Amino acid sequence: MAQSNVLFLRGMFRALPLKRHYRPTVPLLLSQQQRHYRASARSSEDGRPQSFKTQLYASTQQRLKRERSEQEHYAQYQAQSQGGRYAALTFALVFFSAGAYFLGSLKSPSLPTSSTTNLFEVEPPQHDVSQSNLQAAWADFVEILGKENVSTENGDLDMHSGSDWSSYARKESEKPFLILYPSTTEEVSRIMKVCHRRIIPVTPYSGGTSLEGHFAPTRGGVCIDFRRMNRILALHKEDLDVVVQPALGWEELNEQISQDGLFFPPDPGPGAMIGGMVGTGCSGTNAYRYGTMREWVLSLTIVLADGVIIKTRQRPRKSSAGYDLTRLFIGSEGTLGLVTEATLKLTVKPKSQSVAVASFPTIQNAAQCVTRVVEDGISVAGLEILDDVQIKCINDSGTTTRRWKESPTLFFKFSGAPLSVKEQISMVQKIVSSNAGQSFEFARNDDEMKELWSARKQALWSVMSMRRGPEDHVWTTDVAVPLSKLPDIIEATKQDMTQSQLLGGICGHVGDGNFHAIILFNEKERQTAEAVVHQMVKRAVELEGTVTGEHGIGLIKRDYLEHEVGESTVDAMRRLKLAFDPLCLLNCDKVVRVEQPMPEELKTRDTAQRW
C-alpha cells in the first residue's frame, strides 16, 4: 500500500504542468503544502482523520490554483516590465546620445588644411534677425549710444537701403532694422560686441556715394552710420599727415588744411567721405599725378567683427614691420573690419594751378591724344575725358554756367610752379593740335579754372537730370585697361551704347586708363543696359584690364571678379573674409560670395560666367 501510494505520487508530479522557469518556486510550494498537510492530517470537518489520498488530492488542487495565480501574476509583471525596460532603454539611449553630442560639440572642429576656400565648401551664414533678438539688441544699443542715436524711422531706413545713383536695384525686403550713430571707436567696438554675441549682420555707411550696391543691407540687421565721427583728430603739419574720422569729407578736409598750405590729393567726387574712400580704394581726377587712395593712407584703426580694436601701423612714411594690413583693409569695402580712424599722408599745396579744355572730332582722337601726353612724360595733375553725349547732357541740364561744344572733350589740370604750369600748357596745346584737336582753351584765373573744371564734376548729375520719369535708373560703372588699349575699348564701348539706343555718356580719369559709362534706362530696358555693361567689362578683362578701376566690386561685379584674377584667387579672398569675419556679419555678400546664389541671381551669375 505504501509503495503504491509513492508510485501514484510520482506519477502525479510528472503529470503536473510545471514550467522550467518556475522550478525555483517549487520548494516554497512544497513547504506550504507540507504545513497544510500536517494541519489537515490532525482533523477534518467531522473530527475524523482524513485519508492520505484525500489529503493528497486536496493539496494538489490548492497547489494548482496557486500556480495558476502565480502564472497570471508573472505574465502581468512581464508585460509591465517589458514596457518599463523599453522606456528605460529609450531614455538611456537619448541621454547618452545627447551627452555624446554635447561632449563632441566641446571639441574644436578640425582646422582646414587648404590655403583657399571654395564657395561650395562654405556653410551659409546663420544670422539671427528675429524680431525678438533685434528688439533685445535695441535695448543694448540704447544703453551704449542713448536713445537719440538709435533710429527706427522709416525715412532713415529707406535712405540707408540704397540710392538713386547706385547700379544696384534695391529690394523692398532689404532694409536695416535700425540705424546706429556712434561717435567714438569705443562705441563702435561695443556695438560690434553686441552684434557678434547676438549674430546680427552689420552694414557700414559713411557718405553713401558708392555706386555698385556697397551699402545695400542684403541680410537686414543693423546699419552703422558714422556721420557723428566727422572730425580731424590730429594734424601734424611738420610730418605732413593727419588723423581723421571716417565721416569727414575729402572736400572739407582740404578746406581746413589749405589754411596751412597743405593738400590731400584723392578727389573721387562730391560728397565722398574718408571711410568710403578707404573702403573702395578710390582715386579721382588727380590720380594720374598723385596716385590712388592706397598711396595716401599711412595707418588705420579698425574694429573687427567681434569688437576687437586694432591699429595697422604707426605714422612713419614707410615701414617693413610685418604684414601690410593697412593695404589689406583698403578696398575691402567694410567686409573685413570697420574703419574708425585713418592716418592720411598730405602734401604741400601747389603754388600755381590751371585748367585747359580741348575738343576733338571723335572719341578715338581724344583717346589718342591722351596716349601722346602720357608718352611724352608731361606731368599734368589730371587728365579727364567726356564724350559728346555727356557734354550734351551737361548743356541740356544747365548744371554749369556756360554751354560747351558738343563733341568729345579732354580736361587737363596743371599744377606746380607758375613757370612749370605755363610750360605744361604749351606742350599739351601742341599735342592737341597734332591729334585733330578742334579747340583749346585754358583758364587765366581762378574763376575761369572753376568754370572750365565744373563740367567734369557735373557728369553724373547731368545724366540723372535727363530722366524721363521716376521709373528711370542710372547705371554708373567703370573699368580700367593698360593705357595703350584705352582708345580701342572706349571706341568699342561707344559703339555699343549707340547701337543700344540708350542714353549713355562716357567720362573718366583717362590719364591712368580708367573710364566710366553712365547709362539711363528703365526696367524694360534693363537687359539692354546689362548687355552693354557686360561687353564693357568683358573687353576690359580680355585687354588685361580690370573690372573696376575705382568704384569697387560691391554686389554688381562679384561674379566678374574671378575672370579677372582667377577662381583660386577669389577663393583665397574668401578665406581672408572668413578668417577676419567667421560669422559673416560685416557688409554681407559684398566682394566675394559666402553663399550659393539665389534663383533670381542665377541669370546674372550665368551672364558673368559666360565668356
Q: What Cα–Cα distance (Å) separates residue 212 from each residue in 22, 264, 497?
A: 86, 25, 20
Cα distance from N-terminal residue to C-terminal residue, the chain: 115
- Per-residue model confidence as pLDDT tens digits over 26-79: 444 444 444 444 444 444 445 555 565 566 566 667 766 766 666 666 556 555
β-partners of residue 299 are: 343
77-91, 226-240, 352-366, 384-398: which is most confident = 226-240
CA–CA separation, 241 vs 298, rounded Å? 8
Confidence of residue 340 (pLDDT cuts 50, 70, 90): very high
Options 3.40.462.10, 3.10.20.600, 3.30.56.10, 3.30.70.380; which CATH number does 352-556 get?
A: 3.40.462.10
- Per-residue model confidence as pLDDT tens digits over 113-151: 899 999 999 999 999 999 999 999 999 999 999 999 999
User: What pLDDT score does 111 carry?
Assistant: 74
Q: What are phi and psi of 414, to 5 degrees?
A: -120, 145
User: What pLDDT score does 73 carry?
Assistant: 61
pLDDT above 70 for 185: yes
Helix (H, G, I), strand (E, B) or coil at 357: strand
pTM, entire model: 0.80
Placement of cell 595733375 in the chain = 381
Dihedral over alpha carbons 264, 265, 267, 268 (to 10 degrees) = -120
CA–CA separation, 473 vs 165, rounded Å? 7
CB-CB neighbours of 269 under 10 Å:
20
Placement of cell 542713448 in the chain = 146
CA–CA separation, 176 vs 158, rounded Å? 9
Mean pLDDT value across the chain: 86
Nine-digit cell string for 84: 518599463
pLDDT above 80 for 387: yes
CA–CA separation, 8 vs 12, rounded Å? 6
Average pLDDT over residues 474-495: 92
Average pLDDT over residues 495-502: 94
Amino acid at 414: F
CA angle 371, 375, 379 (to 5 degrees): 100
Q: 199 or 444: whose pLDDT is higher? A: 199
Confidence of residue 599 (pLDDT cuts 50, 70, 90): confident
CA–CA separation, 329 vs 310, rounded Å? 12
User: What pLDDT score does 459 carry?
Assistant: 84
Q: 307 or 106: whose pLDDT is higher? A: 307
- Per-residue model confidence as pLDDT tens digits over 250-276: 999 999 999 999 999 999 888 999 999
Closest to 340 measured CA to CA, from 315, 303, 295, 298: 303
Q: Tally the C-alpha atoms within 13 A of residue 53's C-alpha that lie toward its C-beta.
A: 6
User: What pLDDT score does 104 carry?
Assistant: 62
Instruction: Cite the residue boundaries of each domain of the chain with CATH code 3.40.462.10.
Output: 352-556
Average pLDDT over residues 522-539: 94
Instruction: Cite the residue boundaries of each domain of the chain with CATH code 3.30.43.10.
Output: 131-225
CA–CA separation, 175 vs 178, rounded Å? 9
CATH 3.30.465.10 fits 232-348, yes or no: yes
In the chain, % of residues over pLDDT 90: 64
CA–CA separation, 140 vs 136, rounded Å? 7
Q: Are 532 and 517 in contact (CB under 8 A)?
A: yes
- Per-residue model confidence as pLDDT tens digits over 1-22: 444 444 444 444 444 444 444 4
Average pLDDT over residues 454-481: 88
Nine-digit cell string for 75: 505574465
CA angle 509, 515, 520 (to 5 degrees): 125
Average pLDDT over residues 564-590: 97
Average pLDDT over residues 238-258: 97
User: What pLDDT score does 236 carry?
Assistant: 97
Exposed / middle / buried, residue 369 (Cβ in 10 Å: 0-12, 13-18, 19+): buried
Helix (H, G, I), strand (E, B) or coil at 58: helix
CA 477 to the chain's CA centroid: 20
Helix (H, G, I), strand (E, B) or coil at 477: strand
Report the largest interatomic distance among the alpha carbons of the chain, rounded to a whole angstrom: 156
CA 198 to the chain's CA centroid: 17
pLDDT above 60 for 155: yes
Dihedral over alpha carbons 392, 394, 398, 404 (to 10 degrees) = -70
Confidence of residue 610 (pLDDT cuts 50, 70, 90): low
pLDDT above 80 for 219: yes
pLDDT above 50 for 477: yes
Domain 131-225 in this protein, CATH class: alpha beta
Amino acid at 283: S
Closest to 270 measured CA to CA, from 142, 483, 469, 454: 454
Nine-digit cell string for 517: 559709362
pLDDT above 90 for 88: no
Q: 164 or 114: whose pLDDT is higher? A: 114
pLDDT above 50 for 388: yes
Q: Which of 76-90, 233-247, 578-592 has the lowest mean pLDDT?
A: 76-90
Average pLDDT over residues 589-601: 87
- The dihedral through the CA atoms of 239, 240, 245, 246 has a sign that is negative
Q: What are phi and psi of 59, to 5 degrees?
A: -65, -40
Q: What are phi and psi of 338, to 5 degrees?
A: -105, 125
Q: Are 212 and 557 in contact (CB under 8 A)?
A: yes
User: What pLDDT score does 23 carry?
Assistant: 43
